[in-house]
Amino acid sequence: MTSFINTARSHFPSLESGYIFADNAGGSQCARDVVDKLSDYLLRTNVQLGADYSVSVTSTRRVAEGVQAAATLFNAGSPDEVAFASSSTMNMENLARALEGDVLSDEEIIVTGEHEANVGPWKKLAHRKSIQLKYWRPRISSPNNPYSIVLDVEDLLPLITSKTRLVAFTACSNILGSIVPVKDVIKATRAKATKEGVRKIEFSVDCVAYAPHRRIDVQDWDVDYAVFSFYKVYGPHISALYARAASLHSSLSPLTHHFLRVVDVSYKLNPGGPGYETVYAVTGVLDYLRALAPTGTDDLDAAFAAIAAHEQALLDPLLAYLRQREPRGVRIVGSEEGGLARAPTLSFVVVGERPIKSKDVVKAFDDKGGVGIRYGHFYAHTLVDELEPKLDIDDAVVRISLVHYNTVEEVTRIIEILDEVLA
């Protein structure tokens, strides 16, 4: 194994057992640095923030460090643009509530059929305000595979009118694995909206399935709102939300108690305080990721470049294997193309003359033991429900989702088991 993978794996005690964690889009393993910080907070500085006594001063500083770490991971301009909640679903619901007063009754919201976290809150907002909701639907990318769907900005642009107020989409699908070119999508959409004479358009980007694989850059993307969950990025169960300073100032109403004078800071999106120990613990995620950069550089961009390079080595053989089993009835759900525009999250179904239920493919893995994969719609309910030919929504797809701490040897083992299942 290379020094990259050795370094990566040495941070995860859970990997020492040899168990193959291949459901990482569901939740990643937690790095030791994170757990050390979490326990140190609880064991030594577990007091309320904001008081003048010394331990409280330390806790306040520690939590501020956690907020700064999340801001760094977003590449936000300021930690005042970062809010926390127990989950990304909660963060999005909070955001939709806070935005409600700045959405006019004749405006429109555009969503995708991806994970409901960045869809449901907007559907509910549209319902509360009786405004129009439109869907940016995926298109088929390989003519021989009806499930080879991808989002293409060319299908979004015709939906943009002078009434478009918000576009909500995912930077990476937790089922399809494809990485959406966020910067290009936002740029093209803003240009179209300006041409149409829009009053105000904002973008909400779900980065939950993106953050473990690629570096987020909210400034470069020119995005207004972005969210990810640390429990999928080697950390604890907590989610961070980025809200651009200008949006905090002019689009969002406070969800906080009336006497807390929070005007332009992200705390206005926190109806209650986040778990302090988990906020401090996320500093361990940043430390861990930086440790993956080539020796001595500590550079996050270099760390993510190393992650992407290793993940390509995991993706290529698995994707090639699944494509090669097309005559057996294997259909990849998502793009059949490899390359950097794809995370190693691979979903598929087995159809044709000898179909196999997704549940049974996963059961074969469970029976063998030693590998964790999963089946289902993974809360991208609309996306799966709209596939044609129709799939049983409860059985949906088999998903194998890898991250940089998985090894090429683990992929070989997964392919061996698949080969037996598909015999």
Ligand X SMILES: Cc1ncc(COP(=O)(O)O)c(C=O)c1O
Which chain residues interact with ligand X by CB under 6 A? 25, 87-89, 115, 117, 170, 174, 206, 208-209, 229, 239, 379
d(CA 175, CA 169): 14
Closest CB 110 distance from ligand X, rounded Å = 17
Which CB, 26 or 329, lies closer to ligand X?
26
Closest CB 203 distance from ligand X, rounded Å = 15
Which CB, 5 or 402, lies closer to ligand X?
402
Contacts 24+ apart (CB under 8 A), 127-130: 128/100, 129/100, 129/103, 129/105, 130/105
Which CB, 92 or 371, lies closer to ligand X?
92
Closest CB 409 distance from ligand X, rounded Å = 26
Cβ atoms 158, 101 nearer than 8 A? no
Report the 10 Å Cβ neighbour count for 257. 9
Which CB, 20 or 208, lies closer to ligand X?
208
Which CB, 89 or 283, lies closer to ligand X?
89
Closest CB 88 distance from ligand X, rounded Å = 4
Grouping H, G, I as helix, E, B as strand and the rest as coil, residue 262 is: coil
Which residues, at least 6 apart from 34, have a Cβ–Cβ distance to it below 8 Å? Answer: 234, 235, 236, 281, 282, 284, 285, 288
Report the 10 Å Cβ neighbour count for 3. 9
Closest CA to 117 of 392, 383, 366: 383
Closest CB 82 distance from ligand X, rounded Å = 15
DSSP-derived pairing of the beta strands 330-333 and 345-350: antiparallel
Closest CB 217 distance from ligand X, rounded Å = 18
Closest CB 208 distance from ligand X, rounded Å = 3
Which CB, 173 or 283, lies closer to ligand X?
173
Which CB, 209 or 226, lies closer to ligand X?
209
d(CA 322, CA 320): 6
Q: Look up residue 411 and give its two tokens.
A: 């992929």
d(CA 166, CA 160): 10
In single-letter form, the type of residue at position 234 comes to Y
